[in-house]
Structure 1
Amino acid sequence: MTTILVTGGTGTLGRLVAERLRADGYEVRVLSRHTQPYAVDLREGGGALDAAVTGVDTIVHCASAQKGDEQAAANLIRAARGAGVRHLVHISIVGVDRVPLRYYKSKLAVERLVEESGLGWTVLRATQFHDLLVMVLQGLSKLPVLFLPAGVRDQPVEVAEVADRLVELAAGAPAGRVEDLGGPEVRTFESLARAYLKASGRRRAVVNVPLWGAAYRGFRSGGHLTPQRAVGTGTFEEHLVGRFGGGQVRTGSGRPQA
């Protein structure tokens, strides 16, 4: 039986990947910092990581953090080479080579480590998940006025569709850099924010604010979009319905009204 290791296997994406691989009959190992028997901090590596990859045919690398991704990838690659892993599948982000955001630069560096690893490899870039967009809008809407970066569009994708694609890639031969996976619609950030407010029952004034800096210019120019690869099917509104239902308006007392 083929054994597949999923790093970040308890996260939003990794959990779905692991579930789908098990349903397809694979032996799955879930690696995360706190989940036994493969509780490993990839940034530290060591013997626990070596044990986790021993006997593994394919690794699906979903783990990510704001800091330390490059060291984590280097440790994983070292262990994978030592264990004779056949295939390393890595999920990245559309625009990491076009938007000069620090986190994106780190993700691009990880891609290069994967490409130069000496392992059979596959890299998939996807647009931002619906879940992340909701989390961002939840944070922004804590204020009475919802401030948005002016002129920015987004192309969110349903995380389950990304999981399905990663499972398909993990089951195949190493394919190098494959075509990007984007959500079905390129939308203004304002239209997405208003859809979120309606679904979550929040009333907020929406104000578009011009920002500055190279990263903002990269987002404003659409460097994080892939309209030619709008192959996802789940829309943001469909995600919101699944998350919030029909949406309600909150009164000053905090009680929802239909």
Structure 2
Amino acid sequence: MTTILVTGGTGTLGRHVTARLRDAGHEVRVLSRSAQPYAVDLRKGGPALDRAVADVDVIVHCASTQTGGDEKAAANLIAAARRANVAHLVYISIVGVDVVPFGYYKSKLAVEKLVESSGLDWTVLRTTQFHDLVARVLGAAAKLPVLLLPAGIDDQPIEVAEVADRLAELAQLPPAGRVADMGGPEVRSFADLARTYLKATGKRRAVVGVPLGGKTMRAFRAGGHLSPEQAVGKGTFEEYLARG
């Protein structure tokens, strides 16, 4: 039996990864800021982090925040993993972090580089955006009488459970470095996804594309965050919305 630590193990992705690894018979430790007995703020590190990592074979690093601190958190985790001689570090990243100059993407890319230079054996998986993220963005936009979206941008959302399947699989395999990206089943315009969301939620809104400038928007319009050649996902946005 392998002992596996899942950071962010109570989050959108982490809880699914945790369940799959436990179903596979592994001892799984869940690390988050509030989950006992491994309640740790990775940005602060300290003795509690060392206790969480002690005698762990594999770390699956799912913890992340768009409010900043991912690089510090990763540095602390890597340092603790080195001290504990962890055999394998698995990291989940995002398609396009090396192409789209979006702040959060830059942080994810920086963490990738920390993992690659850590001295640990590692695996990195990049995926496209999760269905639930797209739904949250559209839900927030739909609070206005007119649903405003950046014009000319496509997306390729993927089912989080499928990503969890792959991440759990990678955690049980030997370190593989950067593995093939994982994209949702289809590339669709954000306007089309918005209309799908409105229909599923029974909301009536005009969908209006707003032209936006800047390097980040140009990179998104160019599809830097997409992976059409790796459209391996099966679950569609409609199926996600139908589950409520």
Report the TM-score range of the alignment, normalised by the length of the smaller protein: over 0.9
Tell me, in whole angstroms, the C-alpha distance in 2 between the residues paired with 1:169 and 1:223: 25
How much does 1:242 deviate? 1.0
> Is 1:22 the counterpart of 2:25 in the alignment?
no
Tell me, in whole angstroms, the C-alpha distance in 2 between the residues paired with 1:79 and 1:132: 31
Partner of 1:185: 186
Partner of 1:136: 137
Normalising by the residue count of structure 1, what TM-score does the alignment of the two structures yield?
0.94
Partner of 1:255: none
Matches within 5 A, 1:211-222: 211-222=212-223
Tell me, in whole angstroms, the C-alpha distance in 2 between the residues paired with 1:135 and 1:39: 27
Partner of 1:80: 81
Tell me, in whole angstroms, the C-alpha distance in 2 between the residues paired with 1:88 and 1:221: 32
Query: Any runs of at least 4 consecutive aligned residues in structure 1 with deviations exceeding 2 A, and if so which?
Result: none
Matches within 5 A, 1:145-164: 145-164=146-165
Provide, for residues 51-91 of structure 1, a one-character-per-residue CA deviation record: whole Å limited to 9, x for no partner: 00001000000000120000000000000000010000000
Tell me, in whole angstroms, the C-alpha distance in 2 between the residues paired with 1:181 and 1:129: 11
- Secondary structure of the residue aligned to 1:72 is helix
Partner of 1:44: 44
- Secondary structure of the residue aligned to 1:206 is strand
How much does 1:226 deviate? 0.3
- Secondary structure of the residue aligned to 1:12 is coil
Aligned CA-pair RMSD: 0.4
Identical pairs, percent: 72
**1:157 aligned partner, one-letter code:** I
Tell me, in whole angstroms, the C-alpha distance in 2 between the residues paired with 1:215 and 1:71: 24
Provide, for residues 216-245 of structure 1, a one-character-per-residue CA deviation record: whole Å limited to 9, x for no partner: 0010000000000000000111111112xx
The gaps in structure 1 that reach 5 residues or longer are: 244-258
Tell me, in whole angstroms, the C-alpha distance in 2 between the residues paired with 1:73 and 1:127: 21
Partner of 2:90: 89
Provide, for residues 162-189 of structure 1, a one-character-per-residue CA deviation record: whole Å limited to 9, x for no partner: 0000010000000000000000000000
Tell me, in whole angstroms, the C-alpha distance in 2 between the residues paired with 1:132 and 1:209: 20
Tell me, in whole angstroms, the C-alpha distance in 2 between the residues paired with 1:144 and 1:22: 45
Q: Which has the larger radius of gyration?
A: 1
Normalising by the residue count of structure 2, what TM-score does the alignment of the two structures yield?
0.99
Matches within 5 A, 1:1-258: 1-66=1-66, 67-243=68-244
Tell me, in whole angstroms, the C-alpha distance in 2 between the residues paired with 1:94 and 1:117: 21
Number of positions where the alignment pairs a residue of Structure 1 with one of Structure 2: 243
Tell me, in whole angstroms, the C-alpha distance in 1 between the residues paired with 2:114 and 2:211: 35
Tell me, in whole angstroms, the C-alpha distance in 2 between the residues paired with 1:41 and 1:49: 8
